[in-house]
Amino acid sequence: MRLILCGFGVVGQSLAKLLESRSEDLYARFGLKPRIVGVFDTKGSAVESAGLDLSKLINVKKKYGTIKKYSSSKNNLSGVDLIKSLDADVLVETTASNYKDAEPGMTHITEAMKHGLHVISVNKGPLALAFPSLMELAIYNQVLLRFSGTVGGGTPILDYAKNSLLGERIVSFEGILNGTTNYILTNMTNGMSFKDALNDAKQKGYVEADESLDLDGLDAAAKLVILANWVMELKVTMPDIKRTGIRNVSADDIKNAAKKNCAVKLIASCNKELIVSPREISLDDPLCVNGTLNAISFTSEHSGTQTIIGRGAGGIETASSIIRDLLDIRQEISKI
């Protein structure tokens, strides 16, 4: 299986390391032999039709801050150039999420589909802004679009809702979908001010470069859009979400919640309306997890409410979701 990788940041590099360390295991267990034939980052590209040397690729990126120095030829190609010129099966889109116009990820995904490539995206931007139309484009071009790493990172939240509850009708769900805000609110519950809790989260590398993505609930809203479309089969995008972030959560709010045996959490919910906002949650509620954990409860017609808890982010965790999607695509292709 030949892959084009758009973006070579934390997730892209983690994927390369994972593919290298698990190459024998993936082939022995699943007959899967992925080869990355082209990669691009913001400064350049690397191409090798027989498959790039992943160790060399990682070392070049570490040494020069770009993969452009991997070789002297074909090192100035854009993501679209790679999609148009290379013989590949799957595009893996890992560029940064952008909730204004979803670029460059949107163009990469649509071009790949038009050229008959299956797509795996961990970039939430295109899905948050255009989920229904991207699914239609995938069907029209007879390709698969997979995105399990966009919600929950390595925790298979989307797979659980779609497959483990197969045959059930999910009527609503709610959860903590952003680990950064959960970490900040946990620290505030433990006595820190909002400012100190935010600085602590920044020092640990939890906060996005654009902090509004976390603090204003944009990241949680994007994940809510993806869940609502995939799990509930709603046709919604970001403007359909009622969104309030955590910037105005005060020490008094935290103390008042504690008096009621509750904690303040940023909750994304789908129940008649789609809402992201801080809410008081009982300490006894399975959703009331701390630190950077994510948790989501699905309520179904006959099975009641079930909660899945796990780590929501991290390079290696998200990279593992890409391999999960690769295996899913391979399995779907084999049915044809």
Would you please indicate which residues are annotated as catalytic (active-site) residues?
223
Place of tokens 């084999």: 334
Phi, psi (rounded to 5 degrees) for 176 = -95, 110
**41 CB neighbour count, 10 Å cutoff:** 22
Instruction: Specify the DSSP class assigned to residue 287.
Output: T
Q: CA 132, 135, 138 angle in degrees (round to 5)?
A: 150
Query: How many CB atoms are located within 10 Å of the residue 335 CB?
Result: 5
44 three-class SS: strand
Question: 66, 49, 77, 308: which is closest to 176 by C-alpha?
Answer: 308
**Positive or negative: CA dihedral 205, 230, 242, 187:** negative
Task: Count CB neighbours of 184 within 10 A.
Answer: 28
CB 266 within 8 A of CB 221: no
Residue type, 261: N
What tokens appear for 77 in the block?
Answer: 């190609």
Token pair 């990788």: residue: 5
Distance CA 94, CA 150 (A): 10
